[in-house]
Chain A
Amino acid sequence: MFGKLTIDALPLYSDIAVAGALITVFGALGVIALITWLGRWRYLWTEWLTSLDHKKIGIIYVTLALIMLVRGFIDAMMIRTQQAVALDSIGYLPRDHFDQILTSHATIMVFFVAMPFVVGLFNVVVPQQIGARDVAFPFMNSVCLWLTASGAALVMTSLVIGRYSTAGWAGYPPYSEVQFNPGVGVDYWLWAILASSVASMLTGINFLVTIVKRRATGMRLMMMPLFTWSALCTSILMVFAFPALIVAAALLGLDRYLGMHFFSHGDGGNTMNYINLFWMWGHPEVYILILPAFGVYSEVVATFSGRRLFGYESLVYATAALTVLSLIVWVHHFFTMGASQDVNAFFGRVAPLVAVPPGVMIFDWLFTMYRGRVQFSVPMLFTLGFIVTFVIGGMTGVLLAAAPADSPMQNTTFLAAHFHNIMIPGALFGYFAGYQYWFAKAFGFRLEEKWGRRAFWACIVGFYLAFVPLYVLGFMGMPARLDRYYAADWQPYLIVAELGGLLILCGISFLAIQLGVSIRDRAALSVPTGDPWNGRTLEWATASPPAAYNFAVVPHVNGTDAWWAIKQAGRAGHRPARFHDIIMREDSSAGVVIGATSFVFAFAMIWHIWWLAGLGGLGMFAAVLSQIFRNHAEHRIAASQVEAIENRRAMAPALAPGAPT
């Protein structure tokens, strides 16, 4: 009746696991109780969960990312603490539990922090940047959101019911095969990444079509803002790369569920094929995560230098070049696997090329700032911190891309430090910069500056303290992922790294305080013009927060920096002669139902409760069926209503553009 699910699934194997489970359960109950006490269920359901408004979907994505960031960061601190104390001892974590935490830290950070953050920023910003009223497929957008949430919920559930995978975030076979890992851990990992991959692939399609088909009249490709360019390139990568992860995960699933021999040792299995398939997705994924951050930096640098971007075209070509290069360098993730000399030679030559386009970009950003009036706002601080720190990550990357140098360094903490150097100051700082920059757009008030600066300094100093020791330890030969060790000269470095982690903890706490302070002082921080930074691109032309339809009248675009040009021409805030009806997609509850039933389906598959899996599958099918034959799922916002909304918008005169371009 309940498959493999018994009372033994409760995490009674360690006190720390019990504590984690209790925090998860009481956290969830606390949120439910709070919403009930406030009586906001109906509001939540009609305004948020069932909303197909891309801005709201984006905000939910970013909220999910921030919540999961806390979970992923707690995992990181547990790892750092274990390594700081586990000299000649078992530390405080049992080995099996340590491996679970290592796996969940990486899975969460990649799939349920970075990905939703990226897609959330796309959702809030891209349609407004191109002068669109919505994405091309609003319903699919909602489905993707709730599939992602369902994957995140699976990872959280594994804290309470059963265990998580111990096979690392990449899940290499044969260890992730059922012979060595018969429990439910790998299955939790498998279904969580499958849900997330399908959602990401469909999101890629959605934004590709949106950007290609929904740009404002006159906006040619070479007039698009850089963030939209990065979104376009990222979408292409999502469409091309995620199928590889879906295939890798599905084949591993067939091995585990049906006893096939894709990746098993013996019986004709081929372990290396998994590693190829996984990194065919894995390398483009790095660019899926970092190109959007590059896009944010471009917007931030231009806005806060008061100048148009230096080398717009070279930035576009660099972004496009990275998109192509990222698809042909995957083997550098496993030079030591045993491929032939020729294969390694080819990939060893191509891999360092990846460093060229970001180099071009960094010079473009520097030249944009040169002789500009640089304002050191919080987004700009994150950008400057990125430029300095990312150069180090790039150089260590070139080192690792050389196949002979890679051999001694592979699987050491040097690699872990390089990877985090790319992902924290590279990607995450970009998301933070975007969050600080566009928060005012989404909510109508700015984030408070002082706590933002404190958060930045804590994050960047913390980053150096946490990861420079890992570079050094890599040279000293420390393998990554150790749960205990016997080399006394490693410990001082690991203690410094722990201190760095604590500083990053301060940074994250300061971000939370900043949010609280900003909500408290929202009246003083409000942005009545909708354009607090004297922005250049079209998203600053809408109200803050934007109306459901974004633009009452879609502007006509003649060049880059469309909003700047409108302001220069003195046409900002002009009212159109008359308003027109606007047709928008109706909200739908099917997206959240698909998310919920996909969770039921995956949970049942993990525990081999076949009847429940059948019910979950049927539920998903029925919800999809309820939508695909609807021809008139639109509703009309009457012109008079549009006029009323636009009149309410405070039409304060837009900031006069001061600096020359």
Chain B
Amino acid sequence: MTDSVITAVPGEQTATEEAERAIDEKAYGFWVYLTSNAIIFALLCATFAVMSHNTAGGPDAQSLFRLPYTFAQTMLLLASSTTFGFASAAIAAGQRSRTLVWLNVTFLLGLGFVVMQISELYGMAAAGAGPWRSGFLSAFFTLVGTHGIHVSVGLLWIVLLGCEAHMRGLNPFVVSRLHRLGLFWRFLNIAWIGIFSVVYLPGIV
């Protein structure tokens, strides 16, 4: 028979402890959220793989994808991950202005990625290879577009958190939000590597 006793928790529950626990739980919850988001990307990738040859007589991967263009795009995103790393280092050092500088650079690189993506998708749609053309193109636009929307949300998030860091300084709450933003941003990089390997490389090589 096990034994349980009621013991009084020593000391008051302080606001600081509460805040620390909330931050810890949010980080953990965010990891769990990223798992479910990863499943969404995995299922979209699988759907693309199933439909990658369903061109219905329309253009196929070989004629649509340009490796140098996508490679440049990829480099922009990877570079933005590095600059976010610099921002993280600045956060750890408690340097607000340096953090903001690197966040700005990250934002610009990410914006470049999104702009390149929009221009690629727009160009394809204008040339008659829009998502309504074939199952292959539906799957392509949806997978790449979903990633692009996620990156755009990330950009909006950078702006909002940048403003907050500017106004409120690097308090523990802001730091924890920037930490979760960092997780999200790295996650989008990994997702893009997956997309690059599943969508673009097999289509061209």
Contacts and interface: CB of A to CB of B under 8 A. Distances in A.
Given A262-B139, A270-B54, A273-B51, A239 B6 contact: no
B3 A569 contact: yes
Nearest to B18: A583
B135 A244 contact: no
B132 interface: yes
Interface stretch (A18-26, A504-512, A571-579): A571-579
B40 A246 contact: yes
Contact of B32 (A205, A242, A554, A568): A205
Contacts of B171: 631
Interface stretch (B42-50, B72-80, B107-115, B195-203): B42-50
A209 interface: yes
Contacts of B136: 268
A47 B33 CA distance: 30
Contacts of B71: none
Contacts of B15: 583, 632, 634, 636
Contacts of B21: 213
B135 A270 contact: yes
Contacts of A578: 8
A494 interface: no
Contacts of A569: 3-5
Contact of B135 (A239, A268, A277, A558): A268
A28 to B, nearest CB: 35
B5 to A, nearest CB: 6
A343 to B, nearest CB: 14
B142 A268 contact: no
Nearest to A266: B56
A255 B12 CA distance: 57
B9 interface: yes
Nearest to A136: B25
Nearest to B157: A628
Residue among B25, B50, B55, B137 with max Cβ neighbours from chain A (10 Å)? B25
Interface string B71-114: 00000000000000000000000000000000000000000000
A258 B132 contact: yes
A246 B135 CA distance: 19
B132 A571 contact: no
Interface in A207-234: 208-209, 212-214, 218
A268 B3 contact: no
B53 to A, nearest CB: 8
A611 B25 CA distance: 38
A268 B1 contact: no
Contact of B43 (A209, A247, A264, A558): A247
B35 interface: yes
A280 B44 CA distance: 13
A558 B139 contact: no
Interface in A574-630: 574, 576-578, 580-583, 629
A566 B32 contact: no
Interface residues of B, number: 52
In the complex, which range does the number of interface residues on chain A fall in? 35 or more
B32 A571 contact: no
A261 interface: yes
Interface string B9-30: 1011101001101001110110
Given A240-B39, A261-B56, A270-B54, A565 B9 contact: no
Contact of A581 (B4, B12, B142): B12
B47 to A, nearest CB: 6
Contact of A565 (B4, B19, B28): B4
A258 B4 contact: no
A311 interface: no
B54 A136 contact: no
Nearest to A557: B4
Contact of B3 (A558, A563, A582, A583): A558
A261 B133 CA distance: 8
Given A260-B142, A270-B51, A205 B132 contact: no
Contacts of A583: 13, 15, 18
Contacts of B47: 247, 251, 262, 273, 277
B4 A562 contact: yes
A261 B131 CA distance: 8
Contacts of B25: 136-137, 209, 213-214
B39 A243 contact: yes
Contact of B6 (A209, A240, A576): A576
Interface string B140-171: 01100000000000000000100010000001
Given A247-B40, A260-B132, A261-B135, A565 B32 contact: no
Interface in A536-569: 553-563, 565-566, 568-569
A267 interface: yes
Contacts of B173: 631
A576 to B, nearest CB: 4
Interface of A: 136-137, 201, 204-206, 208-209, 212-214, 218, 239-240, 242-244, 246-247, 251, 254-255, 258-262, 264, 266-270, 273, 277, 280, 553-563, 565-566, 568-569, 571, 574, 576-578, 580-583, 629, 631-632, 634, 636, 661
